[in-house]
């Protein structure tokens, strides 16, 4: 059954949630000292291979007031941070499965009879490694509350993948940080590192950090190479359509990763 065109037009723009946020989280990087630029280059050399893209497709299904439209396929292209040599990686669950956010956004301003629900079904997931090789992966753990998805190669890699092995650190407000991410195909898939700062350290209801910029799925470090965590999206009970980026601490991510099989 047909669904009104305005919903589909809005979905066309909202589906950008499925793609990498490198260019759309457009905060200005802060001024950099020579020492900070040296630290950023060092991080690229040491850990750049540990931040990769996950590619794939997702089938989006929309139900509006009991009427379901034909499914639509959208591309997935999002950042993943590799946590160990086996290829266990962590990413924003919203980048893989934006169904809750799309449902909330498309439902705004509609009465009960026009309520919209969205479901997604990711498929053909694979890492694009720095050497161009594509490795099929599967989702091994999801945490909706923390916006985490953990992925693992379908087959054990012949050689260990580059992973983040740096010690975890906790920053203070206004500290300079380095966000390690990767550029999309138009920039030849190159790793890059940008200097930002910590806007706030939030302790309750749980610890997380707010930065002045950075792409969802990217790994975050201090200027000495300590690992702060990974950028994901904050679950917002007050406004499910508004999910701002935050940094979830490295120790929390590593603890949850122990449950991934």
> Per-residue pLDDT tens for 37-86?
999 999 999 999 999 999 999 888 888 777 777 777 889 999 999 999 99
Q: What is the pLDDT of residues 190-229, one digit of tens each?
A: 999 999 999 999 998 899 999 999 999 999 999 999 999 9
Q: Record the pTM.
A: 0.83
215: CATH: 2.40.10.120
Residue 239 reports pLDDT greater than 50: yes
The answer to whether residue 110 scores a pLDDT higher than 90 is no
pLDDT at 234 over 60: yes
pLDDT number for residue 98: 85
Specify the pLDDT at position 56. Answer: 96
CA 202 to each of CA 118, 153, 206, 228, 243: distance values in angstroms, whole numbers, following the listed order = 31, 34, 7, 14, 16
**Mean per-residue pLDDT for 89-93?**
96
Residue 50, both tokens: 């540990």
Average pLDDT rounded to a whole number, residues 14-41? 61
Contact 136, 153 (CB under 8 A): yes
pLDDT at 26: 40
Number of domains, the chain: 1
Domain with 231, as residue range(s), is 5-257
The per-residue pLDDT for 29 is 56
Q: Which residues pair with 168 in a beta bridge?
A: 227
Phi, psi of 254 (to 5 degrees): -65, -35
- pLDDT on residue 261: 79
Q: What percent of the chain has pLDDT over 70?
A: 82
Name the pairing type of β-strands 245-249 and 67-68.
Answer: unpaired
Instruction: Using CB atoms within 10 Å of the CB of residue 143, give its burial: 0 to 12 exposed, 13 to 18 middle, 19+ buried.
Output: middle
Average pLDDT of every residue of the chain:
85
């Amino acid at each position: 059954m047909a669904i009104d065109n305005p919903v589909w037009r809005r979905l066309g723009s909202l589906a950008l949630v499925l793609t990498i946020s490198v260019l759309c989280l457009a905060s200005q990087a802060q001024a950099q000292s020579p020492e900070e630029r040296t630290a950023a280059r060092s991080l690229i050399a040491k850990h750049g291979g540990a931040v990769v893209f996950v590619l794939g497709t997702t089938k989006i299904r929309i139900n509006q007031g009991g009427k379901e439209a034909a499914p639509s396929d959208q591309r997935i292209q999002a950042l993943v941070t590799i946590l160990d040599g086996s290829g266990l990686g962590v990413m924003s669950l919203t980048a893989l499965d934006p169904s809750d956010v799309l449902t909330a956004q498309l439902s705004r301003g509609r009465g009960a009879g026009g309520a919209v629900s969205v479901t997604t079904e990711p498929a053909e997931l694979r890492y694009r490694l720095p050497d161009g090789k594509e490795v099929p992966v599967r989702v091994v753990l999801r945490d909706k509350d923390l916006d985490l998805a953990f992925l693992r190669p379908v087959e054990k890699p012949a050689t260990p993948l580059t992973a983040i092995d740096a010690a975890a650190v906790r920053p203070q407000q206004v500290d300079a940080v380095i966000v390690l991410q990767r550029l999309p195909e138009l920039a030849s898939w190159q790793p890059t590192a940008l200097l930002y700062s910590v806007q706030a350290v939030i302790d309750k209801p749980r610890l997380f950090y707010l930065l002045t910029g950075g792409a969802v799925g990217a790994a975050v470090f201090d200027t000495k190479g300590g690992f702060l965590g990974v950028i994901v999206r904050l679950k917002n009970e007050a406004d499910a359509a508004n999910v701002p980026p935050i940094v979830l601490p490295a120790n929390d991510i590593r603890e949850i990763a122990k449950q991934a099989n």
